[in-house]
Amino acid sequence: MTKPADGQAASQEPRKPGGGRRRSATAALTVGLVAVLVVLCLLSAGIGAYDIPLGDVLSSVQHRIGLGGSALDRVGESVLWNVRLPRVTLALLVGACLGCAGALMQGVFGNPLAEPGVIGISAGAAVGAVASIALGLSFFGNWTVTVCAFVAGLATVLLVYALSRDGGRTEVVTLILTGIAVNAFAGALIGLCIFFADNAQITQITFWQLGSLSGATWPKVLAVLPCAVAGLAVAPLYSRKLDLLALGERPARHLGVDVERLRLVLVLVVALLTAAAVAVAGIITFVGLLVPHLLRMAAGPGHRFLVPGSALGGAVVLVGADLAARTVAAPAELPLGVLTALFGSPFFFWLLRRTRRKQGGWA
């Protein structure tokens, strides 16, 4: 019997089982998420106290970008372009930031229970915002709260990272425990600020802590856009290294991954994304936990899809949640952070039980 040529042998090698099916699943999931996001954005732009038919929304958008269509009446144009579309765009950006940050956190820590708030970024940003309100700071005008929240969030994550380093290395457990301590300290600072604030300031602080997009404007969109674009563009570049890190620190080092540098870069990217989102929308929880885990269950643990897919999924969740917050209790508006926590908390409990059952305990 003649031996097959090298090319024939290579072509006859068995393919990795499930590889084609997984690629098809991720492609279908991506198309589905994009379609759902487009539909939700259109619905959110049209539904509200002043209803705008879907056809009129599309016609106005076509008119603005020079593809025909026609403008709405003066009130309709103002509502659509000055109120609804800035809010939809901000929800999309904030959701994408939180979803992508969650996927990166879970990859860096190797734990599906991790989310951006675990190392104190959200709490640190909250301290900056609450302190600026309680102290009556106004050196950046209307942007003071946003700037203080952003700077405090970045400073917090750098502090956590510095405190958790020992001997030139950073252990994941130490990083998480340091984050827990910083979260507790930040909570105490927030309580102190509330204690010394007056009634008007307490109302503003409470509204900000509950999370909301009701103050969305095009300037706020432009404020978060550079951070969102930078973080979302950099994150997928580290997908392969995150896949190697999932094998364990020692195997990843043997395969050429600088684990310490990878952690530092990705923690900074997470801080950038989370601080930008919290600064303009307040504290919105569980998006970074729920979205990456659901996508991991649907399409597997590969970060090549998981990182950008989580950004897309986060945008879908937050645009949908904001639409629900505006319409479920109309004419009142539910706090967005409360709504995401109401649905995210039961999922987190289920995730804890599922993880414990699969691992046979926590020991």
∠ CA 176-286-119, nearest 5°, is 20
**Integer Cα distance of 39 and 155 in angstroms:** 38
**Integer Cα distance of 187 and 130 in angstroms:** 11
Per-residue confidence (pLDDT) for residue 170, from 0 to 100 = 67
**Integer Cα distance of 52 and 45 in angstroms:** 8
CA distances from 331 to 40, 69, 78, 95, 334 (A): 20, 31, 19, 24, 10
**Integer Cα distance of 96 and 94 in angstroms:** 5
In contact, 266 and 104? CB cutoff 8 Å: yes
Q: Phi/psi at 155 (nearest 5 deg)?
A: -65, -35
**Integer Cα distance of 144 and 189 in angstroms:** 19
pLDDT in tens, 312-335: 999 999 999 999 999 988 788 888
User: 320: Cβ–Cβ under 8 A, 6 or more apart, which residues?
Assistant: 40
**Integer Cα distance of 294 and 348 in angstroms:** 11
Which residue pairs, CB below 8 angstroms and at least 24 apart, start in 160-168?
160/119, 160/120, 161/264, 161/267, 168/260
The amino acid at residue 29 is L
The model's pTM: 0.85
Four-CA torsion 104, 107, 110, 114, nearest 10 degrees: 20
Closest CA to 100 of 244, 229, 259, 250: 229
pLDDT in tens, 268-297: 899 889 888 988 898 898 899 889 988 988
Q: How far is CA 66 from the centre of its chain?
A: 33
Per-residue confidence (pLDDT) for residue 13, from 0 to 100 = 39
In contact, 71 and 60? CB cutoff 8 Å: yes
**Integer Cα distance of 154 and 167 in angstroms:** 23
Closest CA to 177 of 188, 166, 167: 166
Mean pLDDT split into 10-residue runs, the chain, 363 residues: 44 47 83 95 92 92 87 91 95 96 89 76 88 87 83 86 74 79 91 90 84 89 90 95 89 88 89 87 88 88 93 96 90 88 83 70 46
Per-residue confidence (pLDDT) for residue 271, from 0 to 100 = 85
Closest CA to 347 of 137, 152, 115: 115
Per-residue confidence (pLDDT) for residue 75, from 0 to 100 = 92
User: 140: Cβ–Cβ under 8 A, 6 or more apart, which residues?
Assistant: 146, 147
The alpha helices in 47-84, defined as continuous H runs, are 54-64, 74-79
**Integer Cα distance of 332 and 314 in angstroms:** 25
**Cα distance from N-terminal residue to C-terminal residue, the chain:** 56
Q: Phi/psi at 169 (nearest 5 deg)?
A: -130, 155
In contact, 86 and 112? CB cutoff 8 Å: no
In which element (H, E) is residue 165 found? strand 165-166
Assign domain 51-352 to a CATH class.
mainly alpha
In contact, 314 and 100? CB cutoff 8 Å: yes
In which element (H, E) is residue 196 found? helix 172-196
Q: Phi/psi at 165 (nearest 5 deg)?
A: -85, 140
In contact, 48 and 84? CB cutoff 8 Å: yes
Per-residue confidence (pLDDT) for residue 204, from 0 to 100 = 83
Per-residue confidence (pLDDT) for residue 2, from 0 to 100 = 46
> What are residue 170's DSSP bridge partners?
165
In which element (H, E) is residue 170 found? strand 169-170
